[in-house]
């Protein structure tokens, strides 16, 4: 059975998530990470994908990126998979798959959610207990956004530029984002990203569906739950339908 095509629209940011098969390590050391970052940089230029933020953890990586063309993300991930996995297997004397299935891709409504998504990515090493502060981790985009290094992989999003009129103002404002406490909105954003669901408001998704003619709202997985017997009896009371169960669309 053919795979269902991904919902991707050019010019909108997406969160990409790939985990190692059975949660195995996909980066054994810093040499693996250096090679991976170089492959992503080359592939992003070749396929017209702007990378806004990333983090390379031991058993997974996450990327925030905007494709110029609808097939840009798929081409990017195919290039990474072919080049990195082949080299990883050769370097570590192994065979077989490295990724845990297909990558997850979540549409991001840039305003107001993109910077919250970046914060979630770049605080991953802190949540994992690898470092005390995100700038202490060398394998994410955080140091670039603070102005501590210049990372050629990163293409800064306009939401970051809007933080201030000068590099100093933007860097100070960005640092403050990471000093503020986690909100319910941040928790919601993180859950959506982890599940591969759009990080967007209902109104935004409604407008996108009307414009593109495609479904963008996250759909429930599996069959809808059956009504319990009490609920059926109550819904049929006074209808003259006896014990017949009728389910009406909402």
pLDDT digits over 47-96, tens only? 999 999 999 999 999 999 999 999 999 999 999 999 999 999 999 999 98
pTM summary value: 0.84
Query: Residue 1: is its pLDDT beyond 60?
Result: no
pLDDT higher at 185 or 233: 185
Position 52 in a domain: yes
pLDDT at 107: 95
Residue 91's domain comprises 14-201
Residue 213 domain-assigned? no
CATH number of the domain bearing residue 109? 3.30.70.1290
Residue 250 lies in a domain: no
Domains contained in the chain, number: 1
Q: Is residue 32 part of a domain?
A: yes
Q: What is the pLDDT of residues 8-44, one digit of tens each?
A: 899 999 999 999 998 899 999 999 999 999 999 999 9
- Give a yes or no: residue 238 inside a domain: no
Does 199 score more than 80 pLDDT? Answer: yes
**Mean of pLDDT values over 209-234:** 63
Q: What is the mean pLDDT of the chain?
A: 87
Position 182 in a domain: yes
Domain presence at residue 188: yes
Q: What is the secondary structure of the chain as a DSSP string?
A: -PPPPP---TTS-EEEEEEBGGG--S--SHHHHHHHHHHHHHHHHHTTEEEEEEEE-SSEEEEEEEESSTTHHHHHHHHHIIIIIHHHHHHTT--S--BSSSPEEEEB-HHHHHHHHHHHHHTHHHHTTS-SSGGG-SSBSHHHHTTSS--TT----HHHHTT-SSHHHHHHHHHHHHHSPP-HHHHHHHHHHHHT--BS-HHHHHHHHHHHSS--SPPPPSPPPPPPHHHHHHHHTTTT-TT-------
pLDDT one-digit tens code per residue, 97-131: 999 888 889 999 999 999 999 999 999 999 999 99
* Domain presence at residue 215: no
């Amino acid at each position: 059975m053919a795979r269902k095509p991904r919902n991707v629209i050019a010019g909108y940011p997406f969160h990409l998530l790939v985990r190692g098969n059975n949660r195995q390590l996909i980066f054994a050391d810093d040499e693996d990470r250096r090679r991976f970052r170089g492959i992503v940089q080359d592939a992003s230029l070749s396929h017209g994908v702007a990378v806004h933020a990333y983090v390379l953890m031991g058993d997974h990586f996450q990327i925030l990126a905007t494709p110029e063309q609808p097939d840009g993300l798929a081409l990017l991930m195919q290039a990474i998979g072919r080049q990195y996995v082949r080299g990883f297997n050769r370097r570590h004397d192994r065979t077989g798959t490295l990724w845990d299935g297909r990558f997850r891709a979540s549409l991001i409504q840039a305003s107001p959610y993109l910077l919250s998504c970046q914060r979630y990515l770049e605080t991953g090493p802190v949540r994992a207990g690898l470092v005390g502060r995100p700038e202490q981790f060398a394998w994410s985009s955080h140091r670039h956004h603070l102005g501590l290094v210049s990372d050629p992989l990163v293409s800064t999003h306009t939401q970051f530029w809007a933080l201030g009129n000068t590099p100093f103002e933007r860097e100070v404002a960005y640092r403050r984002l990471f000093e503020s406490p986690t909100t319910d909105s941040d928790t919601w954003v993180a859950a959506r990203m982890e599940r591969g669901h759009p990080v967007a408001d209902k109104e935004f998704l409604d407008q996108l569906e009307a414009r593109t003619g495609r479904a963008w709202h996250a759909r429930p997985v599996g069959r809808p739950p059956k009504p319990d017997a009490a609920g059926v009896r109550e819904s049929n009371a006074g209808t003259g339908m006896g014990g017949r169960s009728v389910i009406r669309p909402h």
